[in-house]
Amino acid sequence: MNPQDKREIERRRTFAIISHPDAGKTTMTEKLLLYGGAIHEAGEVKAKKERRSARSDWMKLEQERGISVSTSVMQFDYKQLKINLLDTPGHADFSEDTYRTLAAVDSALMVLDNAKGVESQTKKLYEVCRLRKTPIFTFINKLDREGRSPFELMDEIEKVLNIQCNPITWPIGMGKSFRGIYHRELKSIILFKESGFATTEAEEVSFSDIKDSKIGEVIGDDAHQQLIEDIELLDGTLGPLDRNEFLAGNVTPVMFGSARTNFGVNAFLDLFCKNAPGPFPQKNGAGDLVAPTEDLFSGFVFKIQANMDKMHRDRIVFLRICSGKFERGMYVKNPRLEKEIRLSHSAQFMARDRSTVETAYAGDILGFHDNGNCRIGDTLYTGSKSICYEGIPQFSPEFFAKVDLADPLKRKQFNKGIRELCEEGTIQMFIDPRVGDQDPLLGAVGQLQFEVLLYRMKDEYGVDVKLRSQPFRHARWIRKKDASPVSSADVKGTLQFYEDTSGYLVGLFTSDFHLEWAKANNENILFMESFLGNPQGK
Ligand code: G4P
């Protein structure tokens, strides 16, 4: 690879923000984009979101419920780096979508509300990161308001999430008595100024000794005394951040601030630039690793979004580039299919604005138009060496329903809609092989997924659908322990047999008891809660 392309790859940083709704993810995103020069005025992301939803009716549901259903990708420059920030849906019912997005990042920022600490959705999202050993930064937000003691918050993160904290900054007071943050690495105090909500450059005071009496003159003697005690305690137990431990997902560097007042955001960005990893080498099939700077281009599909622009009825495939350089118009292979596809209509997205992309590099997220060739988890690559990345698992749904069409003549549109929405991962579909796809069983991880299905069926495909809830509790992919072929005749128990859209055998159980019985009485069988089919196709 030529040195210039190599440099481009080395300066890529791709991450996502995870948080419980209302902790400040949107505000933080906005401030990061502001510092990165991608937007010019605070409020633009939110305003754009609102203007857009008012103008088109794309995902009215999203606006009505105040939740972000879809994922957007934002790119900005900061110092020497090119940063890709992937937005994730905050609502628990879209955890599958979030899982897929987190598969495409190299690190994550966890934003916590200082009054609430670790909340339920943060915990779930964190667990996904943990599965993949994604390095995590932590930002404790809303220090301009009263909250819990920072020691208590550290303790909660360590106990609940089982990760060690290393505070890089430390708050001096909070709420009305918030004076700023002490930077343990830089040995400086960044003073908090109530600045309305505009961007202001923070004032920074550096010193060589924390006991310097000048500090007391700036922040007050009581606050100074408290700071000395806190820092002595921290420095006595924690050394500097061990970057390897951070990269392994064992330690999280913690920062404090207030996204709304732009406070601590710069310090976070600097820490991010210093420590966030660039694109990792990716595992090819069961064996070798593909380095991001290899000449060959490769990536995997982690998201599909149909009808993003309703006027054009388009289907956009989002690809995380894992190695090499993308050039518009290039031909790529998909090991699941026998043909090459041309990536000509490629785009990068800024919230929902898009611009044509001529080149992109490992670490970047590429969106391109596709007529139905690609599925989530597919690998695309160039060159003679065969590449197949691991893919992205499906999770057992917890809600099940069958569908009735208000107008049976709309069957064709329904079939098209359900196929496309399944490919996007909006919903899962299971087929009873004796009946065929005329009466599919639909599965969702959260109820809201069904609401999105009904809404989009009507809005995008013109089909009124009614759902009949089904009494199943669990779906389990059925495999033989020795990996030999399996059929329903091999399984004992009270369950119904279906197939997923790739033809893999799935057992549907109406109770925990039936599932446990089947597990105990089928020694050679695995009942899998999450499933990664063969990425090369069945
Ligand atoms: P989310 O995306 O995680 O759901 O959270 P979002 O950024 O929308 O923030 C949720 C609320 O918390 C917003 O208030 C936002 O202004 C507020 N907020 C975010 N960061 C801070 C902070 O550092 N300090 C304080 N005090 N508040 C913060 P809202 O009233 O719902 O909306 P808005 O009218 O202020 O925009």
CA of 519 to the centre of ligand 1 (A): 47
260, 261, 262: which to mutate for ligand 1, most atoms within 8 A of CB?
260
- Atom 14 in ligand 1: residue holding the nearest Cα: 22
pLDDT at 195: 55
The number of the ligand 1 atom at minimal distance from the alpha carbon of 258 is 23
Residues 482 and 405 occupy one common structural domain: yes
Whole-model pTM? 0.84
Residues 309 and 348 occupy one common structural domain: yes
CA of 18 to the centre of ligand 1 (A): 15
Residues 187 and 100 occupy one common structural domain: yes
Residues 334 and 249 occupy one common structural domain: no
Residue that finishes a domain, picked among 241, 275, 309: 275
Residues 407 and 318 occupy one common structural domain: no
pLDDT at 43: 55
Q: What is the CATH number of the domain that holds 368?
A: 3.40.50.300
**Is there a domain that residue 262 lies in?**
yes
- Atom 35 in ligand 1: residue holding the nearest Cα: 260
Residues 342 and 456 occupy one common structural domain: no
The number of the ligand 1 atom at minimal distance from the alpha carbon of 263 is 23
Q: What type of residue is 369?
A: H
∠ CA 203-263-224, nearest 5°, is 60
pLDDT at 90: 60
Domain that residue 327 falls in: 282-381
Burial of residue 30, with CB atoms counted within 10 A of its CB: 0-12 exposed, 13-18 middle, 19 or more buried: buried
Structure tokens at 145: 């308001």
**Is there a domain that residue 97 lies in?**
yes
Residues 230 and 346 occupy one common structural domain: no
Instruction: Please list the residues that pair with 500 across neighbouring strands.
Output: 430
Residues 169 and 44 occupy one common structural domain: yes
The number of CA neighbours under 13 Å toward the Cβ of 289 is 7
CA of 320 to the centre of ligand 1 (A): 30
What is the distance between the alpha carbons of residues 64 and 42, in angstroms, rounded to a whole number? 23
pLDDT at 21: 85
Q: How many domains does the chain have?
A: 3
304 closest CA partner among 86, 94, 100:
100
Residues 134 and 239 occupy one common structural domain: yes
**Is there a domain that residue 15 lies in?**
yes
**Is there a domain that residue 85 lies in?**
no
Element (H, E) at 269: helix 265-275
Cβ 152 vs Cβ 125: under 8 Å: no
18, 19, 20, 22: which to mutate for ligand 1, most atoms within 8 A of CB?
22
pLDDT at 87: 78
Residue that finishes a domain, picked among 249, 275, 301: 275
CA of 463 to the centre of ligand 1 (A): 37
Q: Ligand 1: residues within 6 Å at CB?
A: 19, 21-27, 90, 141-142, 144-145, 258-260
Residues 65 and 199 occupy one common structural domain: yes
**Is there a domain that residue 338 lies in?**
yes
**Is there a domain that residue 454 lies in?**
yes
**Is there a domain that residue 75 lies in?**
no
Per-10-residue mean pLDDT, the chain, length 538: 95 94 88 77 54 40 44 81 84 73 94 95 84 93 96 97 96 92 91 60 72 87 94 93 96 96 91 96 86 95 76 78 94 87 73 69 90 87 88 86 92 91 88 89 89 89 95 95 93 96 94 97 93 70
Residues 214 and 161 occupy one common structural domain: yes
- Atom 6 in ligand 1: residue holding the nearest Cα: 24
357 closest CA partner among 44, 79, 73, 53:
73
Q: What is the CATH number of the domain that holds 506?
A: 3.30.70.3280
* Helices 150-161 and 120-132, packing angle to 10 deg: 50
Residue that finishes a domain, picked among 329, 354, 381: 381
CA of 7 to the centre of ligand 1 (A): 37
pLDDT at 532: 79
**Is there a domain that residue 412 lies in?**
yes
Residue 525: CB atoms within 10 Å? 20
Phi, psi (5° rounding) for residue 518?
A: -60, -40
352 closest CA partner among 381, 398, 316:
316
pLDDT at 52: 41
109 closest CA partner among 88, 81, 91:
88
Residues 118 and 259 occupy one common structural domain: yes
CA of 123 to the centre of ligand 1 (A): 20
Residue 321: CB atoms within 10 Å? 25
CA of 23 to the centre of ligand 1 (A): 7
pLDDT at 351: 46
